Structure formats: C-alpha cells, structure tokens
Amino acid sequence: MNSDLKFVIITGLSGAGKSQAIKVLEDDGYFCVDNLPPALLPTFVDLCARTAERISRVAIVMDLRGGEFFKDLFEALGYLDAHRWPYEVLFLEASDETLIRRFKETRRRHLLAGDGSIGDALARERELLADFRARADIILDTSDLTLARFKEELEALLLQSDLDDALVVRLVSFGFKRGIPLDADFVFDCRFLPNPHYVADLRSLTGTDREVQDYVFKAEESARYLAMIHEMLDFAIPLCIVEGKIQLIVAIGCTGGRHRSVAMVEKLKELLLRSSHRVVMEHRDISWVG
C-alpha cells in the first residue's frame, strides 16, 4: 500500500490555464489526469494507493467539462478527508477581459456559450464555481502571467509544499487607480511616500530600477515603513502556518503601481528571503502608463 500519496485537485475557469498547469506538474514528476469525473475519484485514489511506491504526487483536473458529474466534487473531496489523504485544491482564474482574449486567439468556444456571448458564459461559469472557489486552498489569477511566470508561481505554491509548515508569501504591487487585489490577505498603502513620478529623470523608470529604489528609500519614513511591514509579517506568518494556511497574499499599493509599491515589494522580498520565508512576487500594474 502506497502511504505517501499527495493529491492536487485542479479546477477553475475555462481558459485560466488548467491545461498548462497539468503540463508543468507533469514535467515536475506528478502523475496527471485531466477531466476525471469526480465520482471516479475514490476508485482512482484506491488504484494509486495500491501501486508499489512509484507514484507519490498526483494532480487531477476536474471542472465543468464533467457536466452533471462535476457536482459530485464535494463528495469526492469528502472521501479524501474521510480517508485522510493529503490534498490541496488549486483554483485557477483570470479576468473576463483576459479570458475573452484567450478564447478569441485560440478560436475555441466556451462550453457554456451556446448561442450566447463568451461574457455571458463566463458569468454563468463563475456562478457555478463560486462554492468550489470558496473551498480552494490556493487561488491563482493568471491574467498577467507569462508561461514562464505561471510555471514559477506553480512551483512555489505546489511543488515545494512537501516541506513541513509550508507557506508561500505572495507579494503583489498594484496601483489604487486600478483597484485593490480582491484576494489579498494584507493591504498596505504607500501613497504617502516620496513619489518618483514627479522627478523627470525617474518618471519613465519603475520600482525595479535602482535609481527609483534609492530615491524612495532615501526618505527615513520609507525605510521605517518597510521595517514595520516586515515586522508585522514576521509576527503573522507563523500564526498563519499554525492555522494551516499555505498561501499569504500581501498587496502593497501606490497611485499607479509603477514606482513606490514596486520598490517596496522588491525590498520586502529581500527581507523575507533573509528570514527563510518562501516568497513569490508579482508587479500587477507595472506595465500601465498613465
């Protein structure tokens, strides 16, 4: 009996990257199954358990392609709970704008579109998946991720989670003018810090550039604010681990999301890595101009 099995259940919106996730995990040694009807999960788990230790990590995509069978997903997860098999639920999503563009580029039809629009189909799909999204251990928005960045995020969130007390801190810089990240656990505002936007030589640069970082952090309040955020997270992260969280999303915003918030996230990542935390980083609005 193979007692070392660990499962990742992948679900989410059509076009959000479930097929790409399977490819990434397969390359990293997962045994992968796409579009498994949830009712068959107990049988499949028992089959994996009888293998001679060759399979240790299994990734399974279950989504609305399963039609009427998909509604059995909660019952299938209950089976894993009852038999104490370790698993995580990964929910992939993206903005409607991104998903519509992807469907048009690939000339695919949304499975719920019928004679209606893709937008209407996405709204319906979000409604049908709302309960499963709420059940997810990890929610990953792929709207602004390149394939390379998507792979990096998955590896940080999943492939290293065999570690004891695993938790990934996801740092997100953003611009308040484009909205606060809805999945953030902590939100910090740095709009009161010195703004490189008003310095002609710095305006076209971003917070990833050394000149912008030097300008922001030459102010005492910037360094102090960074230290306070770091101290708060060092306090909170162990408590989040005790509660069983595997992902902590920390969003730091400025007006446009190109200078101050980016510089703060870059510096905070360095501090958290020195504290031996696992960190991934996203600059959500860095490409926006104006």
Q: Could you tell me the residue ranges of all domains in the chain?
A: 6-159, 168-283
pLDDT value for 163: 47
Gap between the Cα atoms of 45 and 41, Å rounded: 6
pLDDT value for 244: 78
Dihedral sign from CA coordinates of 227, 232, 238, 241: negative
pLDDT value for 256: 93
Gap between the Cα atoms of 54 and 31, Å rounded: 10
pLDDT value for 123: 87
Position of tokens 């730091």? 252
Give the helix/strand (H/E) hosting 141: strand 138-141
pLDDT value for 261: 96
pLDDT value for 219: 94
Q: At 39, which amino acid appears?
A: A
Q: pLDDT 10s digit of each residue in the chain, 290 long? A: 555 788 999 999 988 889 899 988 887 788 899 988 888 999 998 888 887 556 778 999 988 876 666 778 888 889 998 988 888 899 999 888 888 888 878 767 777 666 567 788 888 888 888 888 888 888 888 888 888 888 888 877 775 555 444 688 889 999 999 999 888 999 999 999 999 999 999 999 999 999 999 999 999 999 999 999 999 999 999 998 888 787 899 999 999 999 999 999 999 999 998 887 888 888 888 876 55
Which pTM was predicted? 0.61
Gap between the Cα atoms of 277 and 101, Å rounded: 36
Residues 166-186: b if buried by 16+ CB within 10 A, e if exposed: ebbbbbbbbbbeeeebeebee
pLDDT value for 278: 80
Give the helix/strand (H/E) hosting 11: strand 6-12
pLDDT value for 165: 47
CATH code matching the domain that covers 6-159, chosen among 3.40.50.970, 3.40.50.300, 3.40.50.720, 3.40.50.1100: 3.40.50.300
Phi–psi pair at 275, nearest 5 degrees:
-85, 10
